[in-house]
Structure 1
Amino acid sequence: MNEESVEHHFFNHNNGKISYYVSQHSSQPLFNFIFLAGFGGEEAYFDFKSLAHGLSPSGNLFFIDPLGRGESDETSHSRDIQTILAELHALITNLSLTNIIFVAHSVGGIYAKEYSNTYQNVIGLILFEPITIESDNLFENDQNYINATKHLDTLSPVECEALLMDSQWTVADKKKIRSIKEQLIKRYHKGNSTFYHEGQKLTTNLNFVSQTKLNKKTNSLIICQPFRKDEYQRSIYFNTQSMIETLGNTHYLHRTSTEDSLQSILSFLNTISSNSFVS
């Protein structure tokens, strides 16, 4: 994926303009990858830049930032999951995408899972530590998590930031990411931003999504830290078509274990491309 091949667009939805990046390589791709970031603050394009670079030969790439994130508009419309999915679906429909594979991190996982259960054009999910009902209290109260991540407490803020940094980020990228994140956090702490209201709706949205398991026809690859494997086998993201790969020791495995993640993903894609779901 060359910088020159990436285009930044806005989709005019009734609820506000949705920012998205596109890198297209084929008029008839085998896969259309849609990237959804977690709650970290980076735009999806920057959050997945290295991983996307490795996936670009496999299909076209679409990086979507829901309203209130990245450079997408603020909105007064509710952040319940049905509204967010309707906004995503309007953009995806406008792009006429089929053979969709969502690549999502953390909170992005609930949107990817529920979208795949609601609409028919999704053939796979690649999920990096998606949130679960169990993980609601995991980060503070689970001893396995505390043990697995305590090495981060030994790092200075600068060292920790360097560890979680995407290797493809340029100086200009870092400057833009910092600016977007600062604006997002500033709006969040005012308590009246779209991002704030999305956070307030998170438990409700998670409970709604957790009422159903992943569609049996949807293939999923879950990439997680080793101590979370059992959690994901019990989760809404797991079905008979699922694979779980364990690696690394951070919540940002798509950035800290990119090459290992890519190997797992390419194997997963080979499995999907050999079955009848690809049109």
Structure 2
Amino acid sequence: MNVAKTVEIEKTGTKNRKKRHLWLKIIGGILGALVLFMGITFVVNVISNGVEKKKIESYGQYVNVDGKKMNVLIQGSGEQTIVLLPGQGTPSPALDFKLLIDELSPDYKVVAIEPFGYGLSDETRKERTTENIVSEVHEAVQQLGIDRYVLMGHSITGLYGVSYVNTYPDEVIAFVGIDSSVPNQPGMDVKLPLKSMQFLQESGLMRLIKKVSGDPYESLAFDEHTKEQMNLISNQVTSNRTMIDELKHLGSNFKNAEKLTYPHDLPVLLFVQSNNEDNKMWIPLHEEQVKQSAQGKMIPMEGSHYLHHTKFKEIAGEFKAYMKQIQ
């Protein structure tokens, strides 16, 4: 091999080593920046959680359930009682229902229950099966000395509620669903990225995502103080271990309830989102449900899944009219 060729090979090798070294420095810099970013995000989240926790104002009262504290908000003093239950993952149920509660409480005693893991209630390590959730809610109702009531709820309450009314048929006067789940609705066996959801929350990335996404309550009729409190509580409880376990049991809870129906003699009123583009069977599924009741009625409403955020006046008005009809 001649000298010129040897020199050329050495130059090429030197260039390649320099390129590799440059790329390693770039990759190392990116990884270092990412680690620093994640570290800052985590620390900011921990500090913010500590500061924000002190800003959360208590509301309602605690009842002792299974040796833990469950938060309950009671408003109004009407002769009839409404027990109000949230949709899955609602951070602060009592505040989330505030607009509707304000409309109902002049005529009814409204009891908004925050299940374990929600709002100001304790978390629990007990599995989030329908049986356990229903039992805990019922224990809270018993602790409050309530023996006859309307069961009303949003979303996932449609799943837990059909089990509840069959378990305690002598207590529930009527069931009212606000875009409530149907036990046999399709697609509930999907595997959710639970570990990723928990990582986003614990790492502080969820806080950052929410920050850049804007205020979800901005265009709604809540007062500014309530909006602030809901955001503070959301940062504390979203994707906590109790909520994650509830999502873990979502598929099996639906599977176990797919053949459950409302008792024929139980009045059932369902407010249903009429513009659900993701599930074309949403209206037909609820139409089948109301047929299970001798006094079943479905009222379609255009809006988001959280109908009680924008249609609270209409829901309250239709509910009061319905209760007069069945009495």
Q: TM-score range by the shorter chain?
A: 0.7 to 0.9
Amino acid at match of 1:108: T
Which of 83, 86, 97 is the aligned partner of 2:146?
A: 97
1:204 alignment partner in structure 2: 252
Higher strand share: 1
Change (3 A) 1:159 1:121: same
List per-residue Cα deviations over 1:234-273 (Å, max 9, x = no partner). 248842221000111311111112222222111111123x
Query: Does 1:265 find its partner at 2:265?
Result: no
2:126 paired with 1:126: no
| Partner amino acid, structure 2, of 1:170 | D
Is 2:270–2:290's contact at 8 Å kept on the other side of the alignment?
Answer: no
3-state SS, counterpart of residue 84 of structure 1: helix
The secondary structure found in structure 2 opposite 1:58 is coil
The 5-angstrom pairing of residues 106-185 of structure 1 reads: 106-119=155-168, 120-133=170-183, 135-137=185-187, 157-158=213-214, 161-163=217-219, 165=220, 167=221, 169-185=222-238
How many Å separate the matches in 2 of 1:160 and 1:62? 25
Q: Is residue 101–residue 124 contact of structure 1 (8 Å, CA) maintained in 2?
A: yes
1:53 equivalent in structure 2: 102
1:180 and 1:248 map into 2 onto residues whose CA distance is 28
Distance 1:160 1:11 in 2: 30
Q: Distance in 1 between matches of 2:239 and 2:268?
A: 35
1:185 corresponds to which letter in structure 2? T
Tell me what 2:84 maps to.
35
Change (3 A) 1:32 1:112: same
Provide closer, same or farther for how the CA distance between residues 134 and 80 of structure 1 changes in structure 2, counting only shifts above 3 A: closer
3-state secondary structure, aligned to 1:93: helix
Q: Which has the larger radius of gyration?
A: 2
- Contact 1:225 1:249 (8 Å CA) reproduced: yes
Instruction: Give the CA RMSD over aligned residues.
Output: 2.5
CA change 1:133–1:86 in 2 (3 A) is closer
- CA drift of 1:161 comes to 4.1
TM-score norm. by structure 1 comes to 0.78
Unaligned residue ranges in structure 2 (runs of 5+): 1-57, 191-211, 276-281
Q: Distance in 1 between matches of 2:247 and 2:291?
A: 21
Q: Contact 1:106–1:128 at 8 Å: present in 2 too?
A: yes
TM-superposed CA distance for 1:118, in Å, is 0.6
CA-CA distance at 1:98 after TM superposition: 2.9
- Counterpart for residue 143 of structure 1: none
Cα distance between partner residues in 1 of 2:239 and 2:160: 25
The percent identity for this pair of structures is: 21
Contact 2:155 2:181 in 1 (8 A): yes
Counterpart of 2:60 in 1: which secondary structure? Answer: strand
In the superposition, relative to structure 1, how do residues 209 and 58 fare at CA in structure 2: closer, same or farther (>3 Å)? farther
The number of equivalent residue pairs is: 241
* Contact 1:15/1:77, CA 8 A, preserved across alignment: no
Say if 1:236 and 1:117 are closer, same or farther in 2 by CA, change over 3 A. farther
Against the structure 1 CA distance between its residues 196 and 236, is the aligned structure 2 distance closer, same or farther, given a 3 Å change threshold?
A: farther
Q: Which residue of 2 aligns with 1:229?
A: 283
Counterpart of 1:234 in 2: which secondary structure? helix
Give 3-state SS (helix, strand or coil) of 2:106's partner.
helix
2:75 maps to which of 19, 23, 29 = 23
Deviation at 1:186, TM superposition (A): 5.2
Post-superposition Cα deviations, 1:129-155, rounded to whole Å, max 9, x if no partner, equal 1112554439x9xxxxxxxxxxxxxxx
Give distance in 2, aligned partners of 1:36 and 1:198: 15
> Which one-letter code corresponds to 2:286 in the other structure?
Y
1:94: Cα distance to partner? 1.6
Distance 1:22 1:159 in 2: 27
CA distance in 2 between counterparts of 1:62 and 1:96 reads: 12
Superposed CA deviations along residues 46-71 of structure 1, whole A, max 9, x for unmatched, are: 12111111111222110101111111
Letter of the 2:64 partner, please give it. N
